[in-house]
Amino acid sequence: MLTDGSYIQRSRQSWKFWLFVVALAGGGLALLIGFLPPVSSDPSLFVPLVLGSSCFVLGGLLWICISIKCRRCKSSFGWIAVRKKQQDNWFAWLITTDTCPVCGDQEALKK
């Protein structure tokens, strides 16, 4: 999913991205389990699963917003992506960009 030339990959922050993917997958799985018939009819299971899945997804989004940073100016790439890029392509931008949008850092490309 990450391209070799992306800043995230080259600055060795791809584990942060994968943690985000795992959080989304975990949230999705919890939601799926919550809506299975034997579980969804039991509020003591359904409610915590659905709330838990929301926490996973929101936590994952928050994580990706604050965790991926420029090596030079410490700008949060995820936050910039969410704030400044268009809603439908912020994610694509985040995982493919090779330059810091704030300071233009390409440190990671010099290897």
Question: Which residues lie near Zn ion (CB under 5 A)?
Answer: 70, 72-73, 75, 100, 102-103, 105
* Closer residue to Zn ion (CB): 2 or 105: 105
The least CB distance from residue 16 to Zn ion, in Å, is 16
The least CB distance from residue 29 to Zn ion, in Å, is 35
* Closer residue to Zn ion (CB): 98 or 105: 105
- Neighbouring CB atoms inside 10 A of 58's CB total 12
**Crossing angle of helices 43-67/14-34, nearest 10°?**
160
- Neighbouring CB atoms inside 10 A of 84's CB total 10
Q: Return the structure tokens found at 17.
A: 């991205």
* Closer residue to Zn ion (CB): 39 or 71: 71
**What one-character DSSP code corresponds to residue 109?**
G
The least CB distance from residue 103 to Zn ion, in Å, is 3
CA 111 – CA 107 distance, rounded (Å)? 8
